[in-house]
Chains A and B, each alone.
Chain A
């Protein structure tokens, strides 16, 4: 996500991951978003996470819908295929892509209009199907590309730049996810990369759909006094539920020392997610308790961040359908076509 043109030659001192790639190798084309846009910070966190995860760029597939958020898939992992789809339709297209090849890392970038308005139905069913992918909602409460209309995540009372208050209740993707059986829910803030990077890494390792709601202020249309999705409001009302640390899969077995207040979750690939609850009694595995916590926080006007809920035990799309381990698209035709002898048996005679 460079905001300035990078020189073609990289500094020799740049750190390389085990693939020999520098962080610049996980960047994409120049951002065309407004200066200071929260989305660019999210992109930076993604780039950082991907570099640290050492994912070969071409093993990533990037998908988006339409909106400012959708543009950002061009700004990271230039070595990955990308698909900038239609407004609200990224979820089904990602579902189909994941169906065809279960081995890639799918990263979907969406916005609050894309996911919670025009694409809400699709998001709901993506959650139900537990499609293995990282799904980031860059949530700023407004439609940016069409210049500042409220989105469905705008809070009641939050105002437009001109001062008009929103009167319809917001849709909270985290509460929605809890009620639909989501298996990984996290909320971040574009201004807090330290918190966001481990969340993205854990999301990528998650066995199923990992939904990350990132409050990502729109500096042009929704960063004023009166907005509840501004940098200032989010900083002042951010209440952290959990702090996460992500430990990649290690070749040796490390004895994990139990620490009070820390929950360790072993991800499907063997990595370990350590979650420290900030309120001592917060349990990211208790769906009902998390829902209650979110309700209370919302009533108090707080924005709860961190890894909010995790369930590594539920079946994902491919497990529900008992599909073979080999990506469907790689199965040779000879194994798919039953041949002439079988065909001769069809039809009533």
Chain B
């Protein structure tokens, strides 16, 4: 019975010599738990172990349960898992729930200052009680330190239990509190309290411990929002507008910090950027449109509710052919939904955002490395195609630390500013400039910028217009422009990032997008071990490049794995490719947590068996 409850990704654990460990730390938010969590995460990383951290936190500032999950995996699998080898249960409120998530044979570290609820007891896990609160009360005087240090004490016990390199952890504390000796000393003291207690009272290390390896060479840990902000810095964005919204706020916070550091005029010290916190998302997209129309690279970052507000002006940008870059860090909807929980529920909203016939270019980064890369490319695409480009990340990518190869930049790289007629060309011009006439092979007409030359003047309007930019309600003139816009969108398929494909000639495939990548790839390994070979495609953009169509053509059945209720990527594939509908099946996980391989395996097997 216990075995039935096991997630498939847990079943092989402990049998292999490759490190594969999942720990979960259950805390109360606002108690300083994040520094202890990060300490452990970074310690694993410095030991050369591929690692990921998933922060599951409430939409709240203080007092509610919060969890941090760390996966350490020698094979590089960093997707979330559903069951844990070690639970550090520091929140009595959630003991029962937390202990249920421990794998059979796993361990629970708990604060034995208070009795454990008997209903939480299980016979198939080991309980490692440590009087954390009592220890802190004895060791620290201030009430604040007594609370904050509890997490570090627990961290010290974990270090001993899992054979984490103590020197690495001590060094991390020294780096973190460089110049703050008192803080460093009290943290080190707390760490050692837990470490020594564990060594004296428990069998350290546990059978599921870690050892040094070389799996992190050339890698960094970074959150997607930070990486995206870097991308916009490197793309040359000078204007940004936003309205505070979880989970996109940290992107603009990061961009602001970067600009303060790297965008001061070297001579005057004044700002080569302008970031505006707008009154709402209607305004933030409006500011971006105005700045882009006027020739600056401008972007906004938001989440689903912001996209809902922006849809009116996204249509204006689309129809006036104004480049716009929008980041949608997706969170669980509908409505306010679950602001700190992850989901991929805005795919269809974004693909066709705004009234009337509209279609947009979407980019689906799969990790922070692509958040950086796509942030840069989003501007090239937006300006090349003079249209909105939306980059859809999600809570998992945006706010969790992912291990990615160190970011690189080609100093010879020049931005693609698209077709812009400059002053010299306008001066030489004999005939009148016509805004939407003479499109190129991508169906893009050249634009002009305000303030450059009177011959370049035109009137941008969201109302019906002809190819000269003039107002029209004549069917032929209207159709000429809107049909070209459709062709332009289709042409973008040749310029957007191709899907990531891993093919071994299987007849069945898993198709996914965004943050689902690691879980789906791990699921392919697990299913392969069960005798079901599968191909893999991670779609990275809309419109779909020809490679998407041919991959679908090459497979009898594709399971589309995505994190929303309504199978939005599958719907988009049905609408926008020639794939027969019955060849696409869905594996959906949309409860708000990052995807695990187990959910994918379960979803595929359930359908293969029926």
Contact between B460 and A82, CB atoms less than 8 A apart: yes
Chain A residues near B226 (CB-CB < 8 A):
346
Closest to A93 in B: B290
**Chain B, 217-233, contact with A by CB distance < 8 Å: what is the 0/1 string?**
00111100010001001
Q: Is the CB of B296 within 8 A of A329?
A: yes
**A14: CB under 8 A from chain B?**
no
A6 at the interface (CB under 8 A from B): no
Interface pair A74/B236, CB less than 8 Å apart: no
Of all chain B residues, which has the CB nearest A102? B274
Cα distance, A329 to B463, chains bound together (Å)? 27
Our pick among A95, A96, A121 for the contact of B292 (Cβ within 8 Å) is: A96
Q: When chains A and B are docked, how far (Å) is the Cα of A27 from the Cα of B531?
A: 77
Partner pick for A347 among B221, B298, B458, B462, CB 8 A cutoff: B221
Q: Which of A53-61, A211-219, A257-265, A267-275 contacts B (4 or more CB under 8 A)?
A: A53-61
User: Most B CB atoms within 10 A — which of A73, A322, A349?
Assistant: A349
Q: How far is the CB of A173 from chain B (nearest CB, A)?
A: 17
A331 at the interface (CB under 8 A from B): yes
Q: Which of B26-34, B75-83, B263-271, B514-522 touches A? A: B263-271
List of A residues within 8 angstroms of B471 by Cβ? 74
A-side contacts of B263, CB under 8 Å: 336
Which segment, of B204-212, B409-417, B483-491, B538-546, faces chain A?
B409-417
Which of A147-155, A237-245, A337-345 touches B? A337-345
**A-contacting residues, B393-428, CB 8 Å:** 401, 404, 406-411, 414-415
CA distance A347 to B411 in the complex (A): 19
CB pair A80–B450 under 8 Å, yes or no, is yes
Q: A81-B457, A99-B274, A100-B298 are contacts. A333–B414 as well, Cβ < 8 Å? A: yes
Q: Report A215-245 CB contacts with B as 1/0, cut-off 8 Å.
A: 0000000000000000000000000000000
Q: How many residues of chain B have a CB within 8 Å of chain A?
A: 76
Q: How far is the CB of A75 from chain B (nearest CB, A)?
A: 11
Q: Beyond A89-B313, A100-B298, is A121–B280 a contact (Cβ under 8 Å)?
A: yes
Asked whether, in the complex, the Cβ of B454 is within 8 Å of the Cβ of A58, the reply is yes
- Which residues of chain A from 68 to 101 have any CB-CB distance to chain B below 8 Å in the complex? 73-74, 78-86, 89, 91-101
Are A336 and B290 in contact, with the CB atoms below 8 A?
no
User: In the complex, what's the smallest C-beta–C-beta distance from B449 to chain A, in angstroms?
Assistant: 7
Q: How far is the CA of A325 from the CA of B268 in the complex (A)?
A: 10
Query: Judging by beta carbons under 8 Å apart, are B220 and A346 in contact?
Result: yes
Q: How far is the CB of B92 from chain A (nearest CB, A)?
A: 32
- Are A89 and B272 neighbours in the complex by a CB distance under 8 Å? no
Selected from B42, B298, B460, the residue in CB contact (under 8 A) with A83 is B460
Query: Please, which residues of chain A bring their CB within 8 A of the CB of B42?
Result: 348
B413-454 interface code vs A (CB 8 A; 1 in, 0 out)? 011000000000000000000000000000000001111111
Contact indicator A347/B294 (Cβ below 8 Å)? no
B290 engages A58 (CB within 8 Å)? no
Q: Point out the residues of chain B lying under 8 angstroms from A347, CB to CB.
A: 220-222, 404, 406-407
Contact between chains at B458 and A81 (CB < 8 Å): yes
Cβ contacts under 8 Å, B268 to chain A: 324-325
* Contact call A86/B401, Cβ cutoff below 8 A: no
Q: Which of B461-515 contact A (CB under 8 A)?
A: 461-463, 471
C-alpha gap A149/B504 in the complex (Å): 67
Question: B88 interface residue, CB < 8 Å from A?
Answer: no
Residues of B within 8 A of A329 (CB): 238, 291, 294-296, 449
Q: A104-B450, A331-B238 are contacts. A122–B290 as well, Cβ < 8 Å?
A: no
**What separation, in Å, do the CA atoms of A121 and B283 have in the docked complex?**
9
**A192 contacts the other chain (CB 8 A):** no
In the complex, the chain A residue whose C-beta lies closest to that of B278 is: A92
User: Are the C-beta atoms of A99 and B414 separated by less than 8 Å?
Assistant: no
With A84-B462, A97-B450, A342-B262 already in contact, the answer to whether A349 and B220 are too (CB < 8 A) is yes
B16: shortest Cβ distance to chain A, in Å? 27
Pairwise interchain contact B221-A348, C-beta atoms closer than 8 A: yes
Q: Which residue of B lies closest to A330 (CB)?
A: B295
B329 within 8 A of A: no
A124 within 8 A of B: yes
Cβ contact within 8 Å between A100 and B408 = no
Write the chain A residue with the least CB distance to B284: A92
A103 CB-CB contact with B under 8 Å: yes
B339 within 8 A of A: no
**A321 within 8 A of partner (CB):** yes
B169 at the A interface (CB under 8 A): no
A337 vs B259: C-alpha distance when bound (angstroms): 11
Judged by a CB distance under 8 angstroms, whether B57 is at the interface is no
CA distance A61 to B457 in the complex (A): 9
Contact between chains at A338 and B234 (CB < 8 Å): yes
Q: With a CB–CB cut-off of 8 A, which chain B residues contact A84?
A: 459-463
B273 at the interface (CB under 8 A from A): yes
Q: Are B406 and A340 in contact (CB under 8 A)?
A: no
B406 touches A328 (CB 8 A): no
**Chain B residue with minimal CB distance to A122?**
B283
Q: Does B289 make an interface contact (CB < 8 A)?
A: yes
B290 near A125 (CB under 8 angstroms)?
A: no
A10 at the interface (CB under 8 A from B): no
A95 and B286: CB pair below 8 A?
yes
CB pair A93–B286 under 8 Å, yes or no, is yes
**A99 and B276 form a contact (CB under 8 A):** yes
Please, which residue of chain A has its CB at the minimum distance from the CB of B172?
A348
Q: Is A95's CB under 8 angstroms from B287's CB? A: yes
> In the docked arrangement, what's the CA distance between A103 and B280, Å?
26
Q: Are B296 and A100 in contact (CB under 8 A)?
A: yes
Query: B42-63: which have CB < 8 Å to A?
Result: 42, 45
Whether B272 and A99, one on each chain, are in contact in the complex, defined by CB atoms closer than 8 angstroms, is no
In the bound complex, how far is the Cα of B236 from the Cα of A81, in angstroms?
Answer: 24
| Structural contact, A89 and B457, CB atoms closer than 8 A | no
What are 9 A-B contacts with C-beta separation under 8 Å?
A85-B316, A93-B287, A97-B293, A100-B290, A104-B294, A324-B272, A328-B291, A336-B233, A340-B409
Please list the residues of chain A having a beta carbon within 8 angstroms of any beta carbon in chain B: 56-59, 61, 63, 73-74, 78-86, 89, 91-101, 103-104, 121-122, 124-125, 129, 317-318, 321-325, 328-329, 331, 333, 335-340, 342-344, 346-349
B: residues with CB less than 8 A from A are: 42, 45, 216, 219-222, 226, 230, 233-236, 238-239, 241, 262-263, 265, 268, 270-276, 278-280, 282-296, 298, 312-313, 316, 320, 401, 404, 406-411, 414-415, 448-454, 456-463, 471
* Further contacts, 20 of them, CB under 8 A, given A58-B453, A331-B238: A58-B450, A81-B450, A81-B456, A83-B461, A84-B459, A85-B316, A86-B316, A92-B283, A92-B285, A93-B286, A96-B241, A96-B298, A103-B451, A104-B294, A338-B234, A343-B408, A344-B406, A344-B408, A346-B222, A347-B220
